[in-house]
Amino acid sequence: MQLNVQPGLLASDKAAEAEAIVGACVHCGFCTSTCPTYLQNGDELDSPRGRIYLIKEMLASGSAGPTTQQHLDRCLTCRNCETTCPSGVQYHDLLAIGRETVDALVPNRRRKIKRALVRTLLLARRPLAWATGLARSLSGLLPVATQRLLGPAPLFADAFEQRTGARVLIQAGCVQPHLRPDTDNALSHLLAQFGVAVEWVHGCCGALSAHTSAEQQARELARANLQQWRDAAARGDIVAIVSTASGCGLQLAEYEALLGQQLTAEDRELIGKVCDPVTVIAQLHAQQPDVLPDLANAEPIAFHCPCSLQHGLGLSDAVQRLLTDLGASLPTITDSHLCCGSAGSYSIFEPAMARSLRDQKLGHLQQSLPATLLTANIGCQMHLQGGTVTPVEHWLVWLARHTFLPIEE
Ligand code: SF4
Ligand code: SF4
């Protein structure tokens, strides 16, 4: 496809980027076969090819209507289409340009307020901590479904933090530390078993802002995190920078694309250290194979690989490989490449599509009757837990539980 962006509509670098991405698309349609929204409703405009076409029309004409906005909103940003595309079309970059443009061309006050409200609520760490703390203390009085969402009482105490010397930085996000405080602690206890120290960095990664049309806020959050990383690097060697929520990890890994020319060489070096915890644990396990437990007698599990991990970070089977290497038995999941419908804040804004995708995913995950479902992202964890009585756990918590507590036979 060829695109000539309407003069003056975009900054010149963004216009050139959009033209290059659209130009790479040969309209073959291979991507439609793996697009969850297209597979749900069969609407070409809810497929990657259809959305590329809508964005192309908008950028060429400089005009758009609510239909374009609706179909772009309905995209999960799961990037399954990028994994499938034989031409290497960087769809998510084009989508970001498309969303920013459509929001400018189609002002929608109600939509804007709703998004700002969700951002404010989820980014307000103190009120969130207070609300989850109160809910936990009243847990016995709450409906069973809400109790399941709150999860079990935390198992792992806050681990010792080291602020100098060689260490892994754990980027603690905004939502997970309150909803599932065990996840970061499980990672820190596992790393301690390998003799690796950790330091926490507190601050939202910016993914929620980026996904709700607040690019400027996403950039500010990224800059604030980079400052904390630089400060930490000044106190000692940073081995890796990780987030236990793969959606946040993907956002951190893409700070270079977000901030571009504003970055220094030191910033780029630090961004290069961002990786998923599975990469760190798998490397340590290869060096010290006796630290982690034999999982051959563990209860039946099934793993849902978040889109951010498989399509975003390209680690489609890293967790499965590690757990299988430890003796765990993992069933093959039908359509494991498809999104569960969580997709960051998507399940809040597009609840019908999100529920439909979740129910389909749970059906596939539960085919082998697992006792526990595992995943690697807080969004997927909460979204899936909302649709099943089977416990949904972060794989790090499950692994830490089996490392530090005996397996019941
Ligand atoms: S698979 Fe790639 S090249 Fe083919 S239509 Fe989809 S985005 Fe375009
Ligand atoms: S990102 Fe996901 S939902 Fe969006 S067009 Fe690509 S495959 Fe479809």
pLDDT of residue 129: 79
- Protein residue with least CA distance to atom 8, ligand 2: 35
Residues 135 and 200 placed together within one structural domain of the fold: yes
- Protein residue with least CA distance to atom 2, ligand 2: 78
pLDDT of residue 407: 53
Pick the last residue of a domain from 77, 107, 137.
Answer: 107
For residue 83, with 0-12 CB atoms within 10 Å meaning exposed, 13-18 middle and 19 or more buried, which class applies?
middle
Question: What are the distances in angstroms from CA 134 to CA 36, 39, 150?
Answer: 37, 41, 11
Residues 308 and 379 placed together within one structural domain of the fold: yes
How far apart are the CA of 48 and the centre of ligand 2, in A? Answer: 6
Residues 317 and 345 placed together within one structural domain of the fold: yes
Examine the pLDDT at 381 and tell me if it is beyond 70: yes
Helix, strand counts (H, E) of the chain:
23, 6
Residues 149 and 260 placed together within one structural domain of the fold: yes
Residues 204 and 155 placed together within one structural domain of the fold: yes
Residues 227 and 349 placed together within one structural domain of the fold: no
pLDDT digits (tens, 9 = 90+) for 263-310: 999 999 999 999 999 999 999 999 999 999 999 999 999 999 999 999
pLDDT digits (tens, 9 = 90+) for 197-214: 999 999 999 999 998 888
Q: Indicate if ligand 1 lies below 6 Å from the C-beta of 48.
A: yes
- Protein residue with least CA distance to atom 7, ligand 2: 35
User: What is the C-alpha separation between 378 and 176, in angstroms, rounded?
Assistant: 6
Residues 80 and 158 placed together within one structural domain of the fold: no
Among 38, 39, 46, 76, say which to mutate for ligand 2: greatest number of ligand atoms within 8 Å of CB: 76
Of ligand 1's listed atoms, the one at least distance from the Cα of 28 is: 4
How far apart are the CA of 130 and the centre of ligand 1, in A? Answer: 46
Domain count, the chain: 3
- Region of 166 please: left (phi>0), alpha (psi -120 to 50) or beta: beta
| Residue 311 domain flag | yes
pLDDT of residue 406: 61
pLDDT digits (tens, 9 = 90+) for 74-87: 999 999 999 999 99
ipTM exceeding 0.95, yes/no: yes
| Residue 394 domain flag | yes
Q: Which of 158-162, 249-253, 367-371 has the lowest mean pLDDT?
A: 158-162
Residues 321 and 230 placed together within one structural domain of the fold: no
Domain that holds residue 79: 12-107
- Protein residue with least CA distance to atom 4, ligand 1: 28
Cβ pair 183, 394 in contact under 8 A: yes
Examine the pLDDT at 123 and tell me if it is beyond 90: no
Pick the last residue of a domain from 231, 260, 280.
Answer: 280
CATH number, domain at 29?
A: 1.10.1060.10
In this prediction, residues 338-350 reach a mean pLDDT of 94
Q: Indicate if ligand 1 lies below 6 Å from the C-beta of 187.
A: no
| Residue 295 domain flag | yes
In this prediction, residues 169-196 reach a mean pLDDT of 92
* Residue ranges in 106-213 assigned as alpha helix (H): 109-123, 125-137, 144-150, 176-179, 182-193, 207-211
Give the DSSP per-residue string, 118-149: HHHHHH-HHHHHHHHHHHHHTGGGS-HHHHHH
Q: Indicate if ligand 1 lies below 6 Å from the C-beta of 295.
A: no
CATH number, domain at 333?
A: 3.40.50.1860
In this prediction, residues 150-161 reach a mean pLDDT of 80
In this prediction, residues 328-341 reach a mean pLDDT of 97
Residues 93 and 202 placed together within one structural domain of the fold: no
Of ligand 2's listed atoms, the one at least distance from the Cα of 339 is: 2
| Residue 29 domain flag | yes
Enumerate residues lining ligand 2, CB below 6 A: 35-37, 48, 51, 75-81, 91
Residues 87 and 190 placed together within one structural domain of the fold: no
Residues 239 and 304 placed together within one structural domain of the fold: no
Pick the last residue of a domain from 248, 280, 312.
Answer: 280
| Residue 113 domain flag | no
Residues 138 and 257 placed together within one structural domain of the fold: yes
